[in-house]
Homo-oligomer: A and B are copies of this chain.
Amino acid sequence: MSFTITILGSSSATPTSKRNPTGLLVNMNYKYFLVDCGEGTQMQLRKYRFKLQKIKHIFISHLHGDHFFGLIGLISTLHLLGRVEELHIYANEDLKEIIDLQLRVTATELVFPLIFHPTNHLTPEIVYEDDHHLIKSFPLNHRIPTTGFVFSEKDRLRKIRKDFLSREDVPIEELPKIKAGANYTNNDGKVYLNKDITAYPLKSRSFAFCSDTSYFEEAIESFRNVNLLYHEATFMQDMAEVAKEKFHSTAAEAALIATKAGAKELIIGHFSARYNNLEELLAEALEIFPTTRLAEDGDEFKIINDEVITLSSR
Contact = CB atoms under 8 A, between A and B. Distances in A.
Nearest to A103: B65
A72 interface: yes
A172 interface: no
A70 interface: yes
A105 B97 contact: yes
Given A20-B43, A39-B73, A40-B39, A105 B63 contact: yes
A242 to B, nearest CB: 14
A123 interface: no
Interface string A5-49: 000000001111100110000000000000000011011001100
Contacts of A46: 15-17
Contacts of A1: none
A102 interface: yes
A87 to B, nearest CB: 16
Interface stretch (A76-84, A185-193, A224-232, A283-291): A76-84
A72 B65 contact: yes
- For chain A, the bracket of interface size reads 35 or more
Contacts of A102: 65, 98
Contacts of A106: 63-65, 144
Nearest to A104: B94
A144 B106 CA distance: 8
A95 B95 CA distance: 17
A140 to B, nearest CB: 16
A109 to B, nearest CB: 13
A143 interface: yes
A105 B94 contact: yes
A72 B73 contact: no
A23 to B, nearest CB: 13
A73 B81 contact: no
A80 to B, nearest CB: 5
A309 interface: no
A39 B108 CA distance: 17
Contacts of A80: 13-14
A92 to B, nearest CB: 8
Contacts of A73: 21, 39, 65, 69
A64 to B, nearest CB: 6
Contacts of A95: 105
Contacts of A16: 46
7 contacts: A13-B77, A17-B46, A39-B69, A64-B106, A65-B102, A97-B105, A107-B143
Top-6 shortest CB links A-B: A39-B73, A65-B76, A40-B40, A69-B73, A94-B105, A14-B77
